Structure 1
Amino acid sequence: MKIILPIAGKGVRLRPYTNELPKCLLPVGGKTIIDWIVEDADRLTPKETIFIAGYKAEKIQEYLEKKPEWGNTRVVLQMNPQGLGEAIARGLPYVNDGEPLLIILGDTLFEADLAQLEFAEDNVLYTYKVSDPRRFGVAVTNEKGEITELVEKPQTYVSDEAIVGIYYIKDTAELRKALRKMISKDIRSNGEIQLTDALQMMIEAGCKFKTAPVERWLDCGLPETLIDTNSIMLNKNDNSANFHFPGTKIIPPCHIGKNVKLENCTIGPNVDLGDNCSLRFVNIKNCVVWANESLSFTLIENQIVASC
């Protein structure tokens, strides 16, 4: 199996933070977004993980050089993004026909059982039941649980199973064929080469797709949603019990980075402190604090703290 992670976007809704870093490298819950995704997928022991990068691609490359434990990785450039379908097409030359492929969008976090893919006989799209399907692309299934149609933002009810951005493809040759056709004939939806359109072509060509559930779907696309996601992920990565600082109270869950200095502070709940931070007389909760920040004599709530 190989994995493709599309991470070329500019993350405009997260500015000014993405002026400094690509979205996938933003910290949340004591790790970067991409750390959470890759480490979760590593249980499948992929032969290679392919990153489709564009905006600040050099930052991605630098980060991967610090991650030898991730095994074989490759950065493929998409400097003029033309849609998710085009991004995947750029990664497909490094995937053999018949070789299983897992595609995971690099801008959301999730709780899902990926281990079941080792035994999957069909293509699989992970979905999450939503109360308002009109905001999402959804998968329509038949009585056998097979996907019959993919519908983008349906205005009348056809399904409540929203497609979350995790795609397991066994019929890689058919995916390649569909994307080549779309690109050669410039078939676009909303101005872009869409992966969903290629998957629909595969369904119409007879490829079988089934759904698998996502237990939790976490958004990192806006500052306020990233802060909410931070509080959830900290429950998985709370290391606050390992630290004691003079005059300081730490209320879990929190994640404390390396070489952090705290003096007379109240930290937490739900605070991620990056490496080399220094805080004196600070009361802080529900925040993500980037590495190397210094704060004194302040009260901070519900913020991303970064010098950018």
Structure 2
Amino acid sequence: MKIIVPMAGMGKRMRPHTLTVPKPLIPVAGKPIVEWLVEDITRTCKEKVDEIAYVIGDFGAEVEKQLIAIAERLGARGTIHYQDEPLGTAHAILCAQSALQGKVIVAFADTLFRAEFTIDESRDGVIWVNRIDDPRMFGVVKLDGEGFITDFVEKPQEFISDLAIIGIYYFKDGEYLRKELQFLLDNDIREKGEYQLTNALENMKRKGTRFVPGKVEEWLDCGNKDATVHTNKRVLDYQAGAATVAASVKQEHSVIIPPCFIGENVVLKNSVVGPFVSIGANSRIESSVVSNSILQTGVTLKHANVDNSMIGHSAQLHLRPEQLSISDYSTSHH
């Protein structure tokens, strides 16, 4: 089994946090989004995952090393593939064409899910969906009476179905998928200017491939700041009971309200932290109240009241904010 993780997008909706860190490497509950994703998928596979292929932009050697280490921790080989321009989902997957063989899972790296399922590897293909209120921003599927997928529609402006494709797919035959993706590029078949995976799925279905929907209990989007803070809250919720405060944390006249993730060598002084807070290593929180927020590594807070916020690496903050979205290396004094 191989997992392909397209993650080359710049994450514009997550700026300023993605100016120095690619979106899938933003930590949620102490671990990068992409690490939670591939861990969860590996757990649902009956068969051993032998390769995790990441499709990235020019993220630099440090990020590549981090991604390969994530794969190796799961007992798989990590490989790096590049998508130099954003030409759509079909093009992104094809950038990892050496991994398109045998059984393949494609998982786009801005989504997390909660589900108790095992992949039915005997199926031609499984497409994970989630029922949502407003499907206009997503690809959706329609089902027939037997539960097979009959239609794929990209961002329907009129109501067609409320089963949104969440960005995780299983294919029994990776080589067949590769040929169908290549067909779109060879014949310049685009939708809204891009090569879309849904067009390849439609062609495969027409030729007799039978796709079934996979259902998740909860779909967690990490597309923007509010969604990512909410995802952090839900993941901490699931982890409740696990020890998520590092032994090296120094607490002075401070209270931690669980669930929280607090990394190595964090100093808490005269502060209340939690619930639903993630704090990266080497941060210092003084005379502050922090709830429902993500603080990355090396953050300094003094006299701050922080809620529903994301604060980037090495940011320093000396004020009384309400809701924030502050980038890496920012400094602010009040």
TM-score, length basis structure 2 = 0.86
Point out where structure 1 has 5 or more consecutive residues left out of the alignment.
none
The question of whether the paired residues in 2 share the 8 Å contact of 1:109 and 1:218 is answered with yes
SS in 2 for 1:38: helix
- Following superposition, the deviation at residue 123 of structure 1 comes to 0.7
Structure 1 residues 100 and 279: CA distance shift in structure 2, 3 A: same
- Following superposition, the deviation at residue 240 of structure 1 comes to 5.1
- Paired residues for 1:131-150 under 5 Å: 131-150=133-152
Tell me the distance in 2 between the aligned counterparts of 1:187 and 1:66. Answer: 37
Larger RCO (CA within 8 A; separation ≥ 6): 1
- Following superposition, the deviation at residue 136 of structure 1 comes to 2.2
SS in 2 for 1:10: coil
State the Cα deviation string for residues 122-143 of structure 1 (Å, max 9, x = none): 3110111122333321111111
Query: Taking every aligned residue pair, what percent have the same amino acid on both sides?
Result: 36
State the Cα deviation string for residues 228-277 of structure 1 (Å, max 9, x = none): 11111111335357767221111111111111111111001111011111
- Following superposition, the deviation at residue 164 of structure 1 comes to 0.7
State the Cα deviation string for residues 19-42 of structure 1 (Å, max 9, x = none): 010000001122110111011122
- Whether 1:272 aligns to 2:278 is yes
- Following superposition, the deviation at residue 148 of structure 1 comes to 1.2
Of residues 203, 206, 229, the one that matches 1:204 is: 206
The question of whether the paired residues in 2 share the 8 Å contact of 1:240 and 1:252 is answered with no
- Paired residues for 1:287-302 under 5 Å: 287-302=293-308
Tell me the distance in 2 between the aligned counterparts of 1:37 and 1:283. Answer: 30
State the Cα deviation string for residues 85-106 of structure 1 (Å, max 9, x = none): 001112122332xx11100010
- Following superposition, the deviation at residue 66 of structure 1 comes to 3.8
Tell me the distance in 2 between the aligned counterparts of 1:66 and 1:210. Answer: 33
- Following superposition, the deviation at residue 176 of structure 1 comes to 1.8
The question of whether the paired residues in 2 share the 8 Å contact of 1:257 and 1:274 is answered with yes
- Following superposition, the deviation at residue 163 of structure 1 comes to 0.7
Tell me the distance in 2 between the aligned counterparts of 1:133 and 1:86. Answer: 23
Tell me the distance in 1 between the aligned counterparts of 2:228 and 2:193. Answer: 28
Equivalent in the alignment of 1:52: 55
The question of whether the paired residues in 2 share the 8 Å contact of 1:267 and 1:283 is answered with yes
- Whether 1:247 aligns to 2:253 is yes
Tell me the distance in 2 between the aligned counterparts of 1:261 and 1:148. Answer: 55
Of residues 65, 85, 89, the one that matches 2:94 is: 89
Tell me the distance in 1 between the aligned counterparts of 2:89 and 2:115. Answer: 22
The question of whether the paired residues in 1 share the 8 Å contact of 2:281 and 2:298 is answered with yes
Kindly provide the amino acid, as one letter, of the partner of residue 251 in structure 1: I
Equivalent in the alignment of 1:4: 4
Structure 1 residues 57 and 8: CA distance shift in structure 2, 3 A: farther
- Following superposition, the deviation at residue 157 of structure 1 comes to 3.3
Equivalent in the alignment of 1:191: 193
- Whether 1:218 aligns to 2:220 is yes
Tell me the distance in 1 between the aligned counterparts of 2:154 and 2:84. Answer: 26
Equivalent in the alignment of 1:128: 130
Structure 1 residues 190 and 269: CA distance shift in structure 2, 3 A: same
- Following superposition, the deviation at residue 147 of structure 1 comes to 0.9
Tell me the distance in 2 between the aligned counterparts of 1:302 and 1:131. Answer: 23
Larger helix percent = 1
Equivalent in the alignment of 1:63: 66
TM-score, length basis structure 1 = 0.93
The question of whether the paired residues in 2 share the 8 Å contact of 1:22 and 1:59 is answered with no
Point out where structure 2 has 5 or more consecutive residues left out of the alignment.
316-327, 329-334
Tell me the distance in 2 between the aligned counterparts of 1:159 and 1:299. Answer: 42
Tell me the distance in 1 between the aligned counterparts of 2:271 and 2:133. Answer: 41
State the Cα deviation string for residues 143-174 of structure 1 (Å, max 9, x = none): 11111111122344332211110110113233
Aligned-pair Cα RMSD in Å: 1.8
Tell me the distance in 2 between the aligned counterparts of 1:139 and 1:49. Answer: 27
The question of whether the paired residues in 1 share the 8 Å contact of 2:68 and 2:79 is answered with no
Tell me the distance in 2 between the aligned counterparts of 1:26 and 1:199. Answer: 30
Aligned length: 305
